[in-house]
């Protein structure tokens, strides 16, 4: 495995689906040795809506790069014993199982701490480890509902809308990665491990903190806006561009408190006359004529491609963004091509964190159990005979 900023940190990864796997993949990008512990046959997201029967699903491939796979049957006593021996040589154990499963397996905090007092146990749950909901299962959409993001998305006269990005899953994964690194740094001072806990519900609530502040200040739920622009600003929102396809839009953001930004916009579209127009003297006045000014903006954007609109406005200092435009991502190698042993070549997002001293790489997600012999030999020093015996007894 390549050297990286977190080289030397060994993480036993018991995660599945997205929330936990996004956390460990991020740490793997940054150089940690991620040993993915899976049941024999592989964790269940390998089979989650597979595009090619018999091969790992893209859902799995997107969240499990930069890991080594070891298959162990943790339902067998000898499998649990093997895992605890590995924990003796690890820094972190990460899990996002259903509530109580680690304890039922005999692999809870007390067992891990007995095996290794320096171990960090990272636990990502839908509702955390305490509180009235802590025994309830959760997925991303449940976290979005209970965390409040659905209360601020969608249209005011219809039901709430699920955010397309899985912020309940991957957002919690990022928070967990930060928590793990905080515990690791603290361990350097104290020498002691600890439990790191992240709740998906709380992670979502944290991501929409501005709305929560408004809710508690006003003492009433925050209403859904019903469109893509906050009131009081114009132009501000999505504007259709040519040729009129499903993603031929650009988002333009002109803050109502910033008169200079409005002037930059007027000049960029060739409408210097608006600088002295009485309808445009300030933000409150412009808002009184929002329909007229939006029609003017749409007429200008509708005659141009989204890339032209974005380039023209952005160069003029107007914050804007073309919908689903990956030119910049590709230019920065934020989307990379990997070569997978069964799925062939395909493109995936790369690490979004850049370090000047070490460049994260993206290695193909492992096949189930691909590194079992390699890891058990490296970490525990098991002989080929011992490994053969474990296989014969279906422990690995």
pLDDT in tens, 300-352: 999 999 999 999 999 999 999 999 888 898 899 999 999 999 999 999 999 99
Distance CA 168, CA 337 (A): 27
pLDDT of 301 reads 97
151 confidence band (pLDDT: 50, 70, 90):
confident
Distance CA 396, CA 391 (A): 5
91 is catalytic: no
Distance CA 189, CA 183 (A): 10
Give the CA distances from residue 195 to residues 32, 109, 118, 122, in Å, rounded to whole numbers and listed in that order: 19, 8, 11, 6
- Average model confidence (pLDDT) across the chain: 92
pLDDT of 291 reads 93
Residue 1 has pLDDT above 50, yes or no: no
Q: Which has the closest alpha carbon to 343: 62, 1, 23?
A: 62
What's the per-residue H, E or C state across 154-168? ECCCCCECCCCCCHH
Residue 101 has pLDDT above 50, yes or no: yes
Mean pLDDT of 24-39: 97
160 confidence band (pLDDT: 50, 70, 90):
confident
pLDDT of 323 reads 93
Give the CA distances from residue 164 to residues 48, 64, 113, 169, 208, in Å, rounded to whole numbers and listed in that order: 18, 21, 39, 12, 15
Distance CA 88, CA 198 (A): 24
* Sheet bearing 92-95, strands edge to edge: 68-71, 33-38, 10-13, 92-95, 120-125, 195-199
Q: What is the pTM of this model?
A: 0.90
- With tokens 């029967």, the residue in question is 53
Q: Which of 32-46, 78-92, 142-156, 355-369 has the lowest mean pLDDT?
A: 142-156
Residue 158 has pLDDT above 90, yes or no: no
Residue 220 has pLDDT above 90, yes or no: no
Q: What is the pLDDT of residues 175-215, one digit of tens each?
A: 999 999 999 999 999 999 999 999 999 999 888 876 666 65
Contact between residue 372 and residue 70 where contact means Cβ atoms under 8 Å apart: yes
Mean pLDDT of 352-379: 94
pLDDT of 302 reads 97
Mean pLDDT of 11-40: 97
Q: Which has the closest alpha carbon to 322: 215, 248, 220?
A: 248
2 confidence band (pLDDT: 50, 70, 90):
very low
> Which residue in 33, 73, 91, 169 is the catalytic one?
169
């Amino acid at each position: 495995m390549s050297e990286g900023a977190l080289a030397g940190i060994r993480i036993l990864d018991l995660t599945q689906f997205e929330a936990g796997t996004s956390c460990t993949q991020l740490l793997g990008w940054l150089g940690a040795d991620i040993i993915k512990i899976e049941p024999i046959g592989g964790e269940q997201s390998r089979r989650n809506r597979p595009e090619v029967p018999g091969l790992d699903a893209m859902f799995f491939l997107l969240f499990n790069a930069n890991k080594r796979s070891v298959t162990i049957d943790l339902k067998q006593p000898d499998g649990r014993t093997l895992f605890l021996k590995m924990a003796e040589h690890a820094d972190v154990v990460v899990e996002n199982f259903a509530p109580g499963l680690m304890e039922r397996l005999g692999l809870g905090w007390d067992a891990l701490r007995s095996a290794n007092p320096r171990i960090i146990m990272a636990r990502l749950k839908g509702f955390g480890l305490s509180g009235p909901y802590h025994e309830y299962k959760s997925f991303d959409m449940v976290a979005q509902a209970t965390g409040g993001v659905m209360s601020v998305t969608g249209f005011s006269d219809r039901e709430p809308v699920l955010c397309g990005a899985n912020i309940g899953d991957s957002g919690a994964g990022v928070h967990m990665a930060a928590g793990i690194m905080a515990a690791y740094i603290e361990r350097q001072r104290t020498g002691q491990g600890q439990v790191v806990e992240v709740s998906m519900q709380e992670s979502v609530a944290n991501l929409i903190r501005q709305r929560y502040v408004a809710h508690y200040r006003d003492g009433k739920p925050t209403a859904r806006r019903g469109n893509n622009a906050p009131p009081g600003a114009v132009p501000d929102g999505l504007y259709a561009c040519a040729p009129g396809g499903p993603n031929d839009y650009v988002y333009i953001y002109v803050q109502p408190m910033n008169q200079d930004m409005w002037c930059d916009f007027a000049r960029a579209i060739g409408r210097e006359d608006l600088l002295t127009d009485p309808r445009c003297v300030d933000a409150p006045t412009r808002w009184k004529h929002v329909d007229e000014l939006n029609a003017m903006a749409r007429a200008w954007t509708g005659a141009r491609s989204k890339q032209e609109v974005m380039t023209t406005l952005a160069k003029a200092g107007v914050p804007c963004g073309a919908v689903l435009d990956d030119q910049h991502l590709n230019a920065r190698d934020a989307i990379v091509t990997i070569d997978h042993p069964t799925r062939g070549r395909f493109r995936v997002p790369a690490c979004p964190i850049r370090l000047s001293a070490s460049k994260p790489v993206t290695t193909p997600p492992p096949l189930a159990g691909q590194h079992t012999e390699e890891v058990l030999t490296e970490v525990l020093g098991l002989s080929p005979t011992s490994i053969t015996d474990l296989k014969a007894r279906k422990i690995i």
